Structure 1
Amino acid sequence: MRSGTEPPPAGLPRGVIVLLGTACLVVVVGGMRVTADLLGPVFLALMLTVTISPIAVWMRSRGVPLWLAMIANVTAVYLLLVSLGTAMALSLARLIDLMPQYQEQFTDLRDQLTRTLAAAGVDQGQVLAALHEATDPGSVAHVVEFVFGGVAAALSNTVFLLAVLLFMCIDAVDFPARMRASAAERPEVIGALRSFASGTRRYLWVTTVFGLIVAVADTFLLWALGIPLPLLWGLLSFITNYIPNIGFIIGVIPPALLGLLQDGVAGMLWVVALYCAVNFVIQSVIQPKVVGDAVGLSASVSFLSLVFWGWVLGPLGALLAIPLSLLAKGLLVDIDPATRWINPLLSGTDNAEPPDRRDERVTVPTAAAKPH
């Protein structure tokens, strides 16, 4: 028996534990950056699978055979990707056919830029030399090589993504049953996974609704201004809407450049002004509040998530910033009752329980609750 004067067992100081945890986190993040080309498609496949998995769950609850639910899962996600990819490919092909019509405007714009720089004291010879170097056949060859290399890498990632999606969609059909079987032993882990899945679906549904609103508004505005290919730029607005806070800035660049080539500086300013009037209000004022209430992340955390995941995984990380943050929160915060005090700091509310877990608590029957 331990005496009252015996000192408590020695343990590591809290500061040392924090430093060790931070060091482990740095190692993990560094490894994720190194394997970003592999992890990016895997995370994208995971988000798509989580989004469409209710289809198979609903079909199984109606008595549909397992193999048919698997086919429906795979078909739904493949149709989504093929439709989006086909629309982008057709629109980009139309854009390539359209660009030669602006050769004269581009030449006039280059001459005007040269005169403006010369008036500002920049040597015209240096400007012409820089332009000549930029249009040198060797430089063009390097650009073409870079573009085709990027296309080859994208095709390779697409094949890998489709393969991962196939297996994930098949596993997703009976995954809820496996989670229920594990809930009795590890209720907190299963609760965190359900919290992540629920939050991801809410985020994607809310963002999709706002994206459709923004895409329709942008398409109508660009059509009214006479900007070519308004459907393409509306589709681009829909895709960039999934990038928190700064997505509309990326989406406005191509139509603004076309407005500059077609109607000069005034046309570009009109495009930028109208985009800011619609997209900034919807995407940067209204949408973050709605998304934050739906998934339990404040606007500051959402923006920092964009910066962090974009740095770790590149453009795909920026596109998946919020779902990846929900996954990290589920595995590092929601999984342990001792760390859930962090939830109010992440969500910006005084509710310690994340909103996406209020209706998905995992209850394990106790001995007293079991029927005799």
Structure 2
Amino acid sequence: MDTDDNSVPASILLYSTAAVILTIGMREIGSILGPIFFSIFFFLILSPLVHWLQRKHVPGSVSVGLVILFFIIFAIASVLLVTGSLLQLSAQIPGYQAQLMSTLENFERYLPSSDQYPVGGLLRDVGTFLLGLTAGIITGALSTGTTIAFIVITTAFLLLDAASAPKKMEKELKDQTVLLSRVTEFGKSLVDFILIRTEINLIGGIGTAILLLIGRIDFAVLWGFLTFLLGYIPYLGFYLAAFPPVLLALFKYGVLGAIAVFVGIWLVNLFIENVLFPSLAGKSLKLSPSIVFLSLFYWGYVLGGSGALIAIPLTMVVKMILESSDNTRWMAKLMESGGNKE
């Protein structure tokens, strides 16, 4: 009994030390790991399409080639759409800055101020910071072409192995039926979650774009695409995606218009997150809300801002690894939501 009691803190110390070392190591090579993880992420989304084509009696090499061609076309179209919109948006930033200053000056008269605490100057500083931040994001987005090309090429190579990968795994793990069963079950749940999340994000992005087109908000399609992309970030993604169109609505229609746009986007998000997503995903996530929230910051720290986009799939992988050993299964249990029962 004493040995077991003493081994618990020792095990916690050992696992904590290993986690810190692993985190530091992954952060050091985050610029390489990020694109690789995204390539695997896209592979998991597209591989079911390869298998679907094969079930329709399309030859293996042809099905993989068609999916790769589809992915390349989609990537090029997305890059052209985003790049073109961002270049136009970048050119209009000085005009938006003037509109923001005018809006803040009109708003300033309703706020208390003094010589010691000039509210107007503070508002102008905030406005300048927000537009500078937007410009920095645009510049960063326009400089990611090499990374996108690497992701596309890596995903294509992964898809080339999609047809034979299950057979290879089954052959290698034929004497480890339990491990094979766990890997298969986890792979299915992870792919199902990613596909459902992608479908939900697509509906949310299209709904948001239509709403903004009706409201005549500039670059509505771009903000719809941003809503689709940031939908992979739980809790925070909605606010990050809603900020740009709400800001443009403030320029165009004033405070009431901005509130109306925010409420419209919020209703779309409310429907897909609280009605549509639970009905499709059920309890497949099996992660507690606190773990989901903390994973955003952890993977964001390790891989940069893009890590938050794939934080949930990566956390599910970590949970699967912890479940694979009797010594660490208790950690996987701690990651589950309170409502999950074996």
Same fold per TM (> 0.5)?
Answer: yes
Q: Does the 8 Å CA contact 1:52/1:76 hold for their aligned counterparts? A: no
Listed one character per residue, the Cα deviations across residues 246-282 of structure 1 (whole Å, up to 9, x for unaligned) are 2110111001111111122222222222322332453
How do 1:108-147 residues align onto structure 2 when only pairs under 5 Å count? 108-112=102-106, 119-122=113-116, 127=121
Q: CA deviation at 1:348?
A: 3.2
Q: CA deviation at 1:94?
A: 4.1
Q: Are the structure 2 counterparts of residues 22 and 329 from structure 1 closer, same or farther at C-alpha, using a change threshold of 3 Å?
A: same
How far apart in 1 are the matches of 2:141 and 2:213? 31
How far apart in 1 are the matches of 2:10 and 2:314? 28
How far apart in 2 are the matches of 1:72 and 1:96? 36
Aligned length: 334
How far apart in 2 are the matches of 1:199 and 1:119? 56
How far apart in 2 are the matches of 1:351 and 1:33? 34
Aligned to 1:236: 226
How far apart in 1 are the matches of 2:265 and 2:301? 27
Q: CA deviation at 1:198?
A: 1.4
81, 88, 105: which one aligns with 2:82: 88
Aligned to 2:23: 29
72, 78, 86: which one aligns with 2:72: 78
CA-atom RMSD in angstroms: 3.6
Aligned to 1:313: 303
Q: Are the structure 2 counterparts of residues 251 and 20 from structure 1 closer, same or farther at C-alpha, using a change threshold of 3 Å?
A: same
Q: Does the 8 Å CA contact 2:90/2:138 hold for their aligned counterparts? A: no
Q: Are the structure 2 counterparts of residues 292 and 304 from structure 1 closer, same or farther at C-alpha, using a change threshold of 3 Å?
A: farther
Structure 1 residues not aligned, in runs of 5+: 1-8, 353-372
Q: Normalised by the size of structure 1, how large is the TM-score? A: 0.75
1:68 and 2:57 correspond: no
Structure 1 residue matching 2:336: 3-state secondary structure: helix
Aligned to 1:260: 250
Amino-acid identity (%): 27
Q: Are the structure 2 counterparts of residues 267 and 340 from structure 1 closer, same or farther at C-alpha, using a change threshold of 3 Å?
A: same
Q: Does the 8 Å CA contact 2:200/2:276 hold for their aligned counterparts? A: no
How far apart in 2 are the matches of 1:173 and 1:59? 11
Q: CA deviation at 1:44?
A: 0.7
Q: CA deviation at 1:177?
A: 0.7
Q: Are the structure 2 counterparts of residues 286 and 344 from structure 1 closer, same or farther at C-alpha, using a change threshold of 3 Å?
A: farther
Q: Are the structure 2 counterparts of residues 317 and 125 from structure 1 closer, same or farther at C-alpha, using a change threshold of 3 Å?
A: closer
Listed one character per residue, the Cα deviations across residues 115-142 of structure 1 (whole Å, up to 9, x for unaligned) are 66783445669949x86xx79xxxx9xx
Q: Does the 8 Å CA contact 2:90/2:135 hold for their aligned counterparts? A: no
Q: Does the 8 Å CA contact 2:322/2:329 hold for their aligned counterparts? A: no
How far apart in 1 are the matches of 2:34 and 2:222? 25
- Matching residue's letter, 2:293: F
Aligned to 1:210: 200
Aligned to 2:325: 336
- Matching residue's letter, 1:84: S
Q: Are the structure 2 counterparts of residues 286 and 103 from structure 1 closer, same or farther at C-alpha, using a change threshold of 3 Å?
A: same
Structure 2 residue matching 1:52: 3-state secondary structure: helix
Aligned to 1:360: none
Q: CA deviation at 1:42?
A: 0.5
